[in-house]
Chain A
Amino acid sequence: MLILDVLGRVQNQKVQLAISQNIEAGDLLIIHGIVVHQTDSSTAQSTLNGYRAPKSNGAHFLIDKDGTIYQTASLYKKTRHVGFIKSRCIAEKSCLPADLKKLKGKRPGLEIGRVEMMKPFPSRYPMNEDSIGIENVSLFKNGAFEPLTRAQQTSLTWLMRELTQTLNINRAEIFRHSEVSWKQESEGASAELLDGR
């Protein structure tokens, strides 16, 4: 179990605080899921520098290639890390006729995303409003993200376990970014999630 202070900062020697208020975007009132990302950067420092720029975007945690975990945003604040969400009922082949009617003719991205965001959880994927993001330092090379290092995977597994226990998040509600939004298919593809996916 993680200990959080009043500002939503993790108090644990495995987590280094590198919080940037520039990537925080309003209060995170409820947490339903976790989304795993990859950065397209060669070092954690370059990503942390980017987070300090005005109007920058990021996630709540950043895991360096050597496994160092940085907390980059308060767990009580939203970050802009997901984007337009895909249709969960289409992906899981569970759409009701009413769902299909609302989605008919809608384009990927904005149009489907606007329909989905109106649905209550868990009829939709977690989004910026109710999820925690974990970035992993990785480069995008030759048309794909490089796989997570062994140290990154170890840290990611530890962090996912701690967060799900502390915040009572269902382990099945952890997704790769490309599963929930229109992103590079390889983003997070090498990450092993807690439910064995």
Chain B
Amino acid sequence: MRKIIFFILISISGYATSLESMLLESVQALPLNYRIIKTCGDWQVKNTHGYYRLVVADVYDGAGSEVYVQWIAHPTPEQKSKLIKTLAFSELNDDHSQYLIQTANCEKKGGFLYVTIKALYEHDEKDLVHRFSIKLIDIGKYELREK
């Protein structure tokens, strides 16, 4: 019985046996307007490997949004993890033609990364969901089309 009470007390007090949640302060300090951050599979260019990171951030207190894709190189014995490229989409991030992004998803298919976006548009007279498909062709190169 004493053992049971002891273990219950440990679990309630959050007793830890090792370092944990080292990034708590950094995560708490993340800007609140960074609404979506997700990884989307790996890429390889010559001998460099890495992963894609999709970022959606709100502007003007959420009146609009901006979307970016980053190429981040994996850490290796020779080099720490490194940001290779941040790609902005001028078609979607235009201050005078602003979209409010509702969902953003990404998927690696047939060697390419595809990002799909659902968004509302500031100049529509009625709520109309716009669907975009972005195909990432190479580092910094893409094709964007509205479905």
Contacts and interface: CB of A to CB of B under 8 A. Distances in A.
Contacts of B97: 57, 80
A37 B96 CA distance: 9
B60 A183 contact: yes
Interface stretch (A89-97, A107-115, A158-166): A107-115
A108 B123 contact: no
Contacts of A184: 95
Nearest to A107: B62
Given A84-B122, A109-B122, A57 B96 contact: yes
**Interface residues of A, dominant DSSP:** loop
A74 interface: no
A107 B96 CA distance: 19
Nearest to A135: B96
B63 interface: yes
Contacts of A80: 97, 123
A184 B62 CA distance: 13
Given A40-B95, A57-B97, A184-B95, A109 B123 contact: no
Interface string B71-108: 00000000000000000000000111110100000000
Contacts of A37: 96
Given A57-B123, A83-B122, A84-B122, A108 B95 contact: no
Contact of B60 (A25, A108, A129): A108
Contacts of B62: 107-109
B96 A81 contact: yes
A110 B100 contact: yes
Contacts of A114: 127
Given A108-B61, A109-B100, A83 B123 contact: yes
A129 to B, nearest CB: 8
20 contacts: A25-B123, A40-B95, A83-B98, A83-B122, A84-B63, A107-B61, A107-B62, A109-B61, A109-B64, A110-B63, A110-B100, A110-B120, A110-B122, A129-B125, A181-B63, A181-B122, A182-B63, A183-B60, A183-B95, A183-B96
Interface of B: 59-64, 94-98, 100, 120, 122-123, 125, 127
Interface of A: 25, 37, 40, 57, 80-81, 83-84, 107-110, 113-114, 128-129, 181-184
